[in-house]
Chain A
Amino acid sequence: MAKFETLVAIAAPMEQRDINTDAVIPGRFLRRKREEGFGDCLFRDLRFHEDGSENDAFVLNQPAFRDAKVIVANENFGCGSSRESAVFALHDYGIRCVIAPSFGDIFHNNCFKNGLLPIVLPEAEVAELRAQAGTMQGAPFAIDLAAQTVTGVDGVIRRFEVDPFRKRLLLQGMDEIDFTLGFEDKIAAFEAAR
């Protein structure tokens, strides 16, 4: 699995709350194979008009945010369907971190399996970071997973909480299946005792 250690990148603000995974990737793209990539499907019906032309109003289509690798979102980002393709689409497009006050539980779990860091911060701090991303366009955010900090355009260092288990695996780029296979004896003993 891809590691995540530090990231210095442009952040794009998305103000809408409850952005569901159907919006991140519509159902009609789910039958693609993983190796075909999902980047072009990211936010498909928000990013593109029906005729395939870009929607200039959508944040990721604006010149300042073309190279964004961070999304500063709002409450309940990634709610709804369990489709991991939502994370594949963010990842393949180039997004490495999403900051929000809360996430859909399954989406939150799926991020960690793909080297993408979901950061939860209090609503007021996320609102401040969203405002910075929107007004000081092109200036990067800095994220340090080991230190658990986000530094916005204002230079203020904000600390975030992250599950220590998930942090460890992400910093090491540890494959979770390989990790769990190390517990084979325990699993077998558990099965035998049932």
Chain B
Amino acid sequence: MARPLTLFEKIWVPHEVHRDEDGQSLLYVDRHFIHDGSRTAYKQLADRGLGVRRPDLTFASPDHYVPTTSRDFADVDGEDRKDMVSSLTRNTAASGVTEYGLTDDRHGIVHVMGPEQGLSLPGMLILCGDSHTSTHGAVGALAFGIGASEVAHVLATQALWQRKPKTMRVMIEGELAEGVSGKDVVLALVAQIGVNGATGHVIEYAGSTMEALSVEGRLTICNMSIEAGARAGMVAPDEATFAYLKDRPHAPKGEEWDAAVARWRGLATDPGAIFDREVFLDAAAIEPMVTWGNRPSEAVPVTAAVPDVASVEDPAQRRVLQAALDYMGLKAGMRLTDVPVDYVFIGSCTNGRIEDFRAAASVLLGRHVAPGVKAIAVPGSGLVRLQAEAEGLDRIFIEAGFEWRYSGCSMCLAVNGDTVPAGKRSASTSNRNFVGRQGPEARTHLVSPATAAATAIAGRFADHRTLGG
């Protein structure tokens, strides 16, 4: 009998164009997403006199540097940002690559746009010059982030040299408590295994919790795989995946769809397949989470207190944690529900999908943002925005005192001009709470959309399940 294979191996092996004597594989790339950070890669191609080998497999959207207050190119902040955005339009047009530009409804953060358009499909190898490319693994693909030189390499050759990573299965079992989301699950996981916990590994998320979770919840979890250091995150495609992808613009149609689904059903990890590592997570124990430090692993339940770092034995580690508390303006023992916030950001490739806005809106309905809190809602794509508006969610956000914005990466990495001022505290549905991430000396706490909404209402971190008023 054939050796049982993992989902990862079932995708990796058929994508090997060549295996070098030294054990590196030249992998064929099914889908390549590019964004407005691809100027350097295109320059590398131009310097060599090379073109894009497979423009038909490459899709673009300018997400990092675009304004979220309008769809007017003139509002792109400053000449250097304008050059990033216009370079993408110019380069994609010249190379025959499809771009969903600023005024296209399909515009979006590439990690929202890809699955939404059915461009990210089970069994694919998907790359993008962005570390959160791991997102696309939620549909049963192998997807990971690459650097600018690798983007140039993929544009020129449609292939990439990689050494086979190790595999890790994260088994998540049990029923999530009411109001606990994929974001809380992944924050709990990173807290458990650490920001270095999966380095060099591809994670497969499995177990009853993952099976019960929506595809959008899975996208959120796979998105933050990189925050545990993982090369990629993936989930075996199942009926939920097929239902999510069916009739998407770039998904196969008719008989081709039926054939594809039949093929995709075979991708799931075989019983008895061996992973290099296994990690277990008890879903029932997970609560709405908030980060308090400068690493995504520094997360606790929203009802908890800021941990006491004085008890940490390793002096170097203690210094780092104390520095994080100082940067964040927190003291050990403070209850997070007593910590006031200045900014609330709902959006990003982690939490910029329709379910995220529904979850937040259900908390906001009939309530208003606390005085002094600036709250913005930034849909992950033009189509998410339109869907939310069709459901009347925009009215709920606006009546609650949120700004209802246009799609883009926005305040997640704050390179488009949407920044948090120095010393200000933000509750953010994004993925990184690094020093300076949302602006120099900005204090970022990572939360789920429902927690962000409750926090906006309370003016301090709040448990959306017990929010008064």
By size class, the interface of chain B is 35 or more
Q: In this complex, which of B152, B161, B226 has the most chain A Cβ atoms within 10 angstroms of its Cβ?
A: B161
Q: In this complex, which of B80, B156, B157 has the most chain A Cβ atoms within 10 angstroms of its Cβ?
A: B157
Bitwise, A26-49 to B at CB < 8 A (1) or not (0) is 111011111000000000010000
Bitwise, B137-154 to A at CB < 8 A (1) or not (0) is 000000011111110110
Tell me, yes or no, whether A109 is within 8 Å of chain B by CB. yes
Which listed residue (B40, B165, B295, B436) contacts A26, Cβ 8 A?
B436
| Cβ B158 vs Cβ A187 within 8 A | yes
- For B229, the chain A residues whose CB sits under 8 A away are 76, 79, 104-105
| Cβ A163 vs Cβ B440 within 8 A | no
Tell me the complex Cα distance, A181–B18, Å.
13
| Cβ B199 vs Cβ A31 within 8 A | no
In residues 68-119 of chain B, which contact A (Cβ within 8 Å)?
80-81, 83-84
A181 vs chain B, min Cβ distance (A): 7
Task: Name the segment of B23-31, B274-282, B342-350 touching the other chain.
Answer: B23-31
Which listed residue (B48, B83, B320, B435) contacts A45, Cβ 8 A?
B435
Tell me, yes or no, whether B39 is within 8 Å of chain A by CB. yes
Tell me the complex Cα distance, A75–B17, Å.
33
| Cβ A27 vs Cβ B415 within 8 A | yes
Which listed residue (B37, B65, B147) contacts A113, Cβ 8 A?
B147
Which listed residue (B17, B23, B196, B440) contacts A187, Cβ 8 A?
B17
| Cβ B153 vs Cβ A106 within 8 A | no
Bitwise, B235-251 to A at CB < 8 A (1) or not (0) is 00000000000000000
Tell me the complex Cα distance, A84–B41, Å.
11
Tell me, yes or no, whether A132 is within 8 Å of chain B by CB. no
Interface residues in chain B, defined as those with a beta carbon under 8 Å from any beta carbon in chain A = 17-18, 20, 22-24, 26, 28, 37, 39-40, 43-44, 48, 50, 65, 80-81, 83-84, 129-131, 144-150, 152-153, 156-159, 161, 163, 165, 195-196, 199-200, 226, 229, 231, 295, 316-317, 320, 413-415, 432, 434-437, 440
Interface residues in chain A, defined as those with a beta carbon under 8 Å from any beta carbon in chain B = 15-18, 20, 22-23, 26-28, 30-34, 45, 50, 75-76, 79-85, 87, 102-106, 109-110, 113-114, 163-165, 168, 176-178, 180-181, 183-184, 186-187, 190-191
Show 29 A/B contacts (Cβ-Cβ < 8 Å), sorted by A. A18-B295, A18-B320, A22-B434, A22-B437, A23-B435, A31-B65, A31-B81, A33-B40, A45-B435, A81-B131, A82-B131, A82-B147, A84-B40, A102-B199, A109-B146, A114-B149, A163-B22, A163-B24, A165-B20, A165-B163, A168-B22, A177-B48, A177-B50, A177-B152, A180-B159, A186-B17, A187-B28, A187-B159, A191-B28
Beyond contacts A79-B229, A110-B150, A113-B150: 17 other A-B pairs, Cβ-Cβ < 8 A, are: A18-B320, A22-B434, A22-B437, A23-B434, A27-B415, A32-B80, A84-B148, A106-B144, A113-B147, A113-B149, A176-B153, A176-B161, A177-B44, A177-B153, A181-B156, A184-B157, A191-B28
